[in-house]
Amino acid sequence: MRSTIPLGKWTGVPVGLHWSVALTVVLIASSLAESVLPELDPGETHTAYWVAGVIVALAFFLSLIAHELAHTVVARRHDVEVDSITLWLLGGVSRFSSEPDDPSVELRLSLAGPAMSLGLGALWWGLAVIVSVAGAPSIWVNSLLWLAFINLVLGVFNLLPAFPLDGGRVLRAIMWRQSDRLHATRTAVRVGRLFALVLVGFGVLLVFSGSLVSGTWFMLLGWFIDVAGRAELAGTVRHDFANFEIVAALMTTSVDTIDEGVSVNEFLHDHVLQRHHSAFPVMRDGSVTGMVSLENLRRVPTDEWSSTTVGDASTPLFGVPIIDPDTTVRAAMDEMDRLSATRALVFADRQLVGIVTHTDLIRALQVHELEVRALKSGETT
């Protein structure tokens, strides 16, 4: 889910505001000012109702941030970094730079948000009691009680086993202990889609019964759970592919090499044009000394092609990414990015066994994307 309004960094994490939060705050403020508070406390001025409504709506907005930051605190305690937080209709979405690698960690991380909301509900209720005893106007007592109630609703709602809500992640963590993360995610998404269908159906019934606002609210919730759940599933599949698929399955094993003593002119006409490769490992006495590519040749003046050897024009081995066959796609891409390279040499037991290019990895990810789309289509049908 993309944020539309950046809110800066909170505890070092970029926080963004989805348009649905603005809608929520406006609906809460107007509902309190025009309906809820006038019924609970008749006789107050219109301005007083709106002041209380706006303050409570903003306090609810801060409660959403606190809910998500609770996830952040627990995530950091388990070395899981949070890239960003996007606040949405009744909660938020935290983006992690890495996924929890243990179901117990995900369980604790998922429960942190609802626990914060339930705790805030108790806090606001206690504050309402104190304010009431102190003799404050009843409009503020009722405002605090409503704020306590909505935080309790937020906590309970997020505990529903509807992925990607926190309760759905709790369900995934529990199932993950019995199987694997991908299978658990697929099952949790199916359960979440069932909840989404129920919410949409209930919303439609409310609309036809005359409750347009409430019905629209439930349909929006169902829509979000369905869309976000499938997006999370696709992200899990991509994450698992990049972090568990190894280079051995993608590399080219029949590697053409070139001796370092060959001139650039001979290399270009007798090797590059004949074998249609754009890069070759450079050899000296059976050992790899570097890599020569078309990029290297462009740096050699044309009138020096005959006098310059491949060894002179090549990139030394210390400037070439070196990986082993068990390196994951993600690690291989990171190593290439570190050296600003477009390919890596694959060694096993100090012997050259293959070569893999950035294009190979991107193509594998793109093919996997098509499989993910097919998977999402299959989930839909």
* Alpha carbon distance 275, 271 (integer Å): 6
**Can you give the pLDDT at residue 178?**
85
Question: Between 114 and 186, whose confidence is greater?
Answer: 114
Kindly report, residue by residue over 132-147, the tens digit of the pLDDT.
Answer: 999 888 999 999 999 9
pLDDT interval class at 239 (50, 70, 90)? low
pTM: 0.61
Among all chains, which residue has been given the structure tokens 């594998």?
364
What local confidence, expressed as pLDDT, does residue 91 receive? 63
According to DSSP, the residues that pair with 308 across neighbouring strands are: none
- The token duo for 304 is 């020096």
Q: Is the pLDDT of residue 378 over 70?
A: no
Give the pLDDT score at 69: 87
238-268 burial: b if 16+ Cβ within 10 Å, else e: ebbbbeebbbbebbeeebebbebebbbeebb
Q: Looking at residue 172, what is its pLDDT?
A: 87
Residues annotated as catalytic (active site), given as ranges: 68
Q: Which residues, listed in sequence order, are joined to residue 84 by a DSSP beta bridge?
A: 95
Instruction: Encode pLDDT of 244-256 as tens digits.
Output: 678 998 899 988 8
Q: How far apart are CA 85 and CA 58, in angstroms?
A: 18
Residues 348-376 pLDDT 10s: 988 999 999 988 888 887 777 676 566 55
Mean pLDDT, to the nearest integer, of 280-302?
Answer: 92
Question: Residue 167 pLDDT more than 60?
Answer: yes
